[in-house]
């Protein structure tokens, strides 16, 4: 089955055992991708190991070959796997060292938990890793250690340290116009952690399903599904989630909770229109519903002040979820969730670990000293300039393709020419060291409209400023290298959900 390279020496990996696809609600492609990541993380597939040819793995696992090529393609695009001309796909040699069988039981294995980012990183959802405020954070930790009383060193409040909850509440009240007291705040490890707690609370309160934007960030849909809430997709357009269709979905399914991104829809890049903001709040009130507001990159708006959090309009019906993961990095493991008292009381917070008291108090100091706001202001300037440079380069290199999304956040959408499949572009880009994602990845349901055009989701969070022009030039070359094909799906076994409509109301090169 698998081929081994001269160095990989993984001659008899039992792929059907190593790769447990599980049976969750996520698409097979995503489950395979995750299981490969998992197997590599755990050292089960050593660096240098060749993965089986897609046809062989597809047969072994009993899935379509397309599922395998999609998963490989994504992982190659991310640099997690590498495609070697003439010898297939393999785990890169350098990121992880593995146990040597001859010294098993003692050898250091993975010395650094670092996975190579591609040279031209257009992946969405990746923060600006070059500009993490390391020194200021180290100072915040030192100050926290200097000021923590002895008695604070052994008390772990299940809601979070009061200093952190107070600082976050004040900050959200100021910057997001949230209506929030410290007691409403729970300190989390990040958005996924907060979401996990919230959906468990909703399930315990009797919810059985969750309205989700389609397309949207898949991980949070999965968290809901894992907790037993069936995701109910609701279409999104250039004004954000379609509230009329959301109400229909509620009427059809009874789902009274919705996960939404009003400040900056992911991935379409829309802001929820004022009329829809009012409508969705009215709906939540009328059905005694819960809106989970994923405020993932609301700090970054470049053309105006950010729209206030929806939470401020209806604090008793909105859970506001945020974190440092996009504005700083996941490595800090810090986030927050603001929630109505009734829901907070229902959540069994003590069952999940909180971030360390030390980190929480460092966060409090980082906020109250103004360091966070200083960092956000600088980042806003960087992203604004980077976005402008990116759009300019797109206009130059790909003048016929629409770039959509408001001037915000760290990503934009690029519509592809008719008949050009996003997966082909991604693979071609990957060979040019460009990682990019596509709209179809974030869809909860397949889009099969004839004539629908694929689109890329282009992130610029972690794109080095000096590489913007080169990255776009390479991406443009990748797009031009693909021969357009008729837009009908290519028969049985073809990729039903890689087709997608570009968002309605696409605006060409919005003013940044």
Chain positions 225 to 254 lying near its own copies, rule: CB under 8 A, are: 226
Q: Which stretch binds its own copies (CB under 8 A): 150-158, 204-212, 432-440, 465-473?
A: 150-158
Does 12 bind its own copies (CB under 8 A)? Our answer is: no
Q: Label residue 217 exposed, middle or buried (CB < 10 Å: 0-12, 13-18, 19+).
A: buried
Residue 27 sits at the vertex; the CA angle it makes with 333 and 236, to the nearest 5 degrees, is: 75
Does 332 bind its own copies (CB under 8 A)? Our answer is: yes
Does 340 bind its own copies (CB under 8 A)? Our answer is: no
Does 352 bind its own copies (CB under 8 A)? Our answer is: yes
Q: Which is nearer to its own copies, 273 or 356 (CB)?
A: 356
Chain positions 187 to 216 lying near its own copies, rule: CB under 8 A, are: 188-190, 193, 196
Does 357 bind its own copies (CB under 8 A)? Our answer is: yes
**SS3 call for 398:** coil
At residue 256, what are phi and psi to the nearest 5 degrees? -110, 10
Among 53, 92, 162, 489, binds its own copies (CB under 8 A): 162
Count of residues engaged in binding its own copies, rule: CB under 8 A = 82
Among 1, 148, 205, 314, binds its own copies (CB under 8 A): 148
Chain positions 251 to 310 lying near its own copies, rule: CB under 8 A, are: none
Does 146 bind its own copies (CB under 8 A)? Our answer is: yes
**SS3 call for 291:** strand
Mode of pairing for the β-strands spanning 455-459 and 257-260: unpaired
Calculate the alpha carbon distances from 175 to 165, 172, 306, 375 in Å: 15, 5, 9, 14
Q: Which stretch binds its own copies (CB under 8 A): 152-160, 297-305, 448-456, 474-482?
A: 152-160
Q: In sequence order, what are the beta bridge partners of 286?
A: none
At its nearest, how many Å lie between its own copies and the CB of residue 142? 4
**For residue 241, what is the DSSP state?**
E
Nearest to 436 by CA among 79, 3, 21: 79
Among 173, 205, 245, 388, binds its own copies (CB under 8 A): 173
Q: Which is nearer to its own copies, 75 or 391 (CB)?
A: 75
Residue count of the chain: 512
Q: For its own copies, what does the binding mask look like between residues 114 and 133, x meaning CB under 8 A?
A: xxxx--------xx-xx-x-
Among 353, 370, 484, 496, binds its own copies (CB under 8 A): 353
Chain positions 447 to 466 lying near its own copies, rule: CB under 8 A, are: 462
Calculate the alpha carbon distances from 400 to 314, 395, 471, 479, 482 in Å: 42, 8, 18, 12, 15
Q: Which is nearer to its own copies, 270 or 328 (CB)?
A: 328
| Spatial separation of the C-alpha atoms in residues 400 and 220, rounded to whole Å | 34
At its nearest, how many Å lie between its own copies and the CB of residue 358? 5
Among 270, 329, 390, 408, binds its own copies (CB under 8 A): 329
Residues contacting residue 55 through CB under 8 Å, at least 6 positions apart: 65, 68
């Amino acid at each position: 089955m698998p081929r081994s390279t001269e160095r990989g020496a993984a001659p008899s990996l039992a792929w059907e055992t190593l790769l447990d696809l599980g049976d969750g609600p996520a698409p097979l492609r995503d489950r395979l991708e995750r299981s490969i990541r998992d197997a590599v993380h755990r050292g089960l597939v050593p660096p240098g190991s060749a993965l089986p040819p897609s046809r062989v793995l597809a047969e072994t696992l009993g899935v379509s070959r397309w599922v395998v090529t999609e998963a490989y393609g994504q992982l190659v695009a991310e640099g997690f796997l590498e495609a070697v001309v003439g010898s297939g796909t393999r785990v890169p040699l350098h990121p992880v060292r593995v146990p040597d069988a001859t010294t098993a039981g003692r050898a250091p294995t993975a010395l650094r938990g670092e996975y190579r980012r591609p040279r031209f990183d257009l992946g969405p959802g990746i923060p600006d890793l070059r500009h993490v405020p390391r020194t200021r954070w180290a100072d915040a930790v030192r100050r926290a250690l200097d000021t923590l009383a002895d008695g604070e060193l052994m008390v772990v409040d299940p809601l979070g340290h009061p200093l952190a909850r107070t600082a976050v509440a004040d900050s959200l009240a100021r910057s997001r116009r949230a209506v929030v007291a410290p007691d409403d705040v729970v300190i989390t490890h990040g958005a996924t952690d907060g979401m996990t707690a919230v959906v468990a609370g909703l399930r315990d309160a009797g919810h059985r399903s969750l309205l989700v934007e389609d397309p949207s960030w898949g991980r949070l849909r999965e968290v809901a599904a894992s907790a037993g809430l069936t995701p109910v997709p609701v279409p999104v357009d250039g004004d954000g989630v379609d509230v009329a269709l959301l109400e229909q979905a509620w009427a059809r399914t009874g789902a009274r909770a919705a996960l939404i991104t009003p400040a900056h829809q992911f991935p379409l890049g829309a802001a929820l229109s004022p009329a829809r903001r009012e409508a969705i709040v009215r709906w939540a009130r009328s059905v005694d519903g819960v809106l989970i507001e994923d405020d993932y990159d609301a700090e970054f708006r470049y053309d105006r002040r950010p729209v206030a959090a929806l939470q401020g309009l209806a604090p008793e019906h909105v859970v506001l979820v945020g974190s440092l993961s996009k504005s700083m990095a996941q490595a800090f493991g810090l986030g927050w969730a603001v929630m109505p008292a009734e829901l907070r009381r229902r959540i069994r917070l003590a069952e999940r670990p909180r971030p360390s008291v030390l980190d929480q108090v460092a966060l409090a100091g980082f906020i109250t000293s103004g360091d966070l706001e200083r960092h956000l202001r600088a980042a806003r300037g960087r992203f604004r300039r980077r976005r402008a440079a990116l759009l300019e380069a797109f206009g130059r290199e790909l003048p016929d393709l629409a770039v959509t999304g408001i001037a915000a956040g760290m990503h934009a959408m690029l519509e592809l020419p008719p008949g050009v499949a996003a997966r082909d572009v991604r693979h071609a880009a990957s060979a040019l060291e460009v990682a990019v994602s596509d709209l179809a990845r974030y869809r909860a349901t397949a889009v099969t409209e004839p004539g629908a055009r694929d689109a890329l989701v282009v992130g610029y969070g972690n794109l080095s400023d000096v590489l913007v022009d080169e990255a776009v030039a390479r991406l443009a070359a990748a797009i031009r290298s693909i021969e357009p094909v008729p837009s009908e799906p290519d028969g049985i076994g073809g990729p039903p959900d890689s087709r997608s409509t570009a968002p309605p109301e696409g605006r060409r090169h919005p003013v940044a």
